[in-house]
A and B are shown apart, each in its own frame.
Chain A
Amino acid sequence: MSISLLTFYLFSAILLLSSLMVISTKNPVHSVLFLILAFLNAAGIFVILHAEFLAMILIIVYVGAVAVLFLFVVMMLDFKTSLGKDNILQYMPIGLLIGLVFIAELVIVLINTRLDLSNIQILSNPLDNFSGQSNTEAIGSILYTNYVLYFQLSGVILLVAMVGSIVLTLRDREGVKRQIVSEQVDREGKIELVDVKSGEGVDI
């Protein structure tokens, strides 16, 4: 048993336990925190597979950005009133159905592919013409050449989603005073020096 195998078991055990806690804990904020723990352990497994770029991106994107927004929304919920025992029974059938579908898919995949764990090194480095390069270089040289169309398309889809959500939530509220910095800083023609004669005053 090597150190990497030991760490693999450690990461996957925590990963499984924390994902179990995600669905079983009562408090939604705790669920999200356990989800984050699960993400981190998945990133650890990526590192063991020498996919360090994917691991870091997983942490930056999912843990650093997506899960923060998750936590943001969940923290605002008034969850003490929304949790009851009857809810569990209510969601049981659909949950079981989805679980069954997932198990069926996994079984189909496992039956149809002969997953040979003895050549795990080849599985984690399937493209041998990138052998001398670092992980990041290899992903970049594939992503921006062979798959550049798909890459750009997914970017455009995300952009459209972003624009869409902004359009849906944008509304002009009346009576809001906005700060216009250029106007605030600009003093041309707004300041003048006036000689005021005493007793007469001046019109401004």
Chain B
Amino acid sequence: MNVLQSNFFELITIIFYCILIFVPLLVGVVLALYADRKIWAAVQKRRGPNVVGPFGLFQVPADGLKFIFKEIILPDSADKTVFLIAPIITLALSIAAWAVIPVQAGVVLANINVGILYIFAISSLGVYGILMAGWASNSKYPFFGALRSAAQMVSYEVSIGFVIVTVLMCVGSLNLSEIVLAQKNIWFFIPLFPMFVVFFISALAETNRPPFDLPEAESELVAGYQTEYSGMPFVLFLFGEYINILLMCAMTTILFLGGWLPPIDVYPLNAIPGFVWFILKVTLVFYMFAMVKAFVPRYRYDQLMRLGWKVFLPLSLLAVVLTSSILFFFKLAPGMS
């Protein structure tokens, strides 16, 4: 056991860093849930949550407590192990991806070389939580929801992959911190604006947000893959989903909006610490997510598939060819000048 003893200090620091990521993330999720409902309400000229706590701020913790004290119902015909593992996998994966997100210059838990591939890999695993939940529930609606979700997430991952490739060609590194630093002169959403739009819409589809929330379309599938879940497992799904949404917001920020960099590098702006800019930008992207949820009607399933395979895939492929050609002929690619 001397391995553990010699590495004890290292282990403690890593656990401390994990908590340092996890706690703000939980606060962020609570605020995101609240903001989501408030924005949705404001669009529809309602008040939204306004009773529990000041401005209704404690509504989400109150809901959370309610779920914690509720009974966990295990359906009789469910595959109980898989049924309970599914929400845990969803939450664990969504948190694991945050390990490589840089919130400020040098402030990142794991500054690995293949950061963006890691996030891509983890988010491609996210489909398993939903698939397992849908299958293990052993019920029609969850199963339909799971099948839809699997097809949807696999389709949109392809175009997300190509969008990431276009960004990577402009950067020349897979490291997330270097992707941010490469945007020192110009944020990538200006030269790569079409890809920014494709990425944003694909991110909506990847996180099962409206208008692409077909896996849980309540008018057709009750609640989709979550139908049989109650109490704590349901909360795990909810939190996993929102952490994934925040992750996609953070990804948009890092890939296109310059991460922790200030808009212009002048005195009063660059004195503000980077993580403030990062949080501001994530909030902005989340605001766009919430607005889309509020005023875009849900897609039909064939329209969703058409958009993914017949519009976004050719578009992003074209963008890869175009970007690489421009970078090559004008000698703009990193390491070519």
Contacts and interface: CB of A to CB of B under 8 A. Distances in A.
Interface of A: 1-3, 6, 27, 29-30, 33, 36, 52-53, 56-57, 59-60, 63-65, 68-69, 71-72, 75, 134-136, 179, 181
A179 B113 contact: no
B112 A68 contact: no
Given A65-B124, A68-B127, A71-B135, 12 more contacts: A1-B3, A33-B132, A56-B120, A63-B125, A64-B157, A65-B157, A71-B131, A71-B150, A72-B131, A75-B143, A179-B303, A179-B306
A193 B249 CA distance: 46
B121 to A, nearest CB: 4
A55 to B, nearest CB: 8
B113 to A, nearest CB: 5
Contacts of A6: 3
B3 A60 contact: no
Interface string B95-139: 000000000000000001110011011001101100110010000
Contacts of B82: 29-30, 33
Contacts of A64: 121, 124-125, 127, 154, 157
19 contacts: A2-B3, A33-B82, A52-B114, A53-B117, A56-B114, A56-B120, A56-B121, A60-B117, A63-B124, A64-B125, A64-B154, A64-B157, A65-B124, A65-B154, A65-B157, A69-B154, A71-B128, A75-B143, A75-B147
B302 interface: yes
A46 to B, nearest CB: 11
A2 B113 CA distance: 23
B245 interface: no
B120 A68 contact: no
B97 to A, nearest CB: 12
Interface in B79-93: 79, 82
B150 A57 contact: no
Contacts of B128: 36, 68, 71
A68 B114 contact: no
B173 to A, nearest CB: 8
B30 interface: no
Q: How large is the interface on B (under 10, 10 to 19, 20 to 34, 35 or more residues)?
A: 20 to 34
A71 B146 CA distance: 11
A33 B306 CA distance: 30
A65 B151 CA distance: 10
Given A6-B3, A136-B174, A72 B124 contact: no
Interface in B277-306: 302-303, 306
A50 to B, nearest CB: 10
Contacts of B147: 72, 75
Q: Which of A6, A64, A75 neighbours the largest number of chain B CB atoms within 10 Å of its CB?
A: A64
A175 to B, nearest CB: 16
A29 B124 contact: no
Nearest to A36: B128
B322 to A, nearest CB: 19
3 interchain residue pairs of minimum CB distance: A64-B124, A56-B117, A59-B121
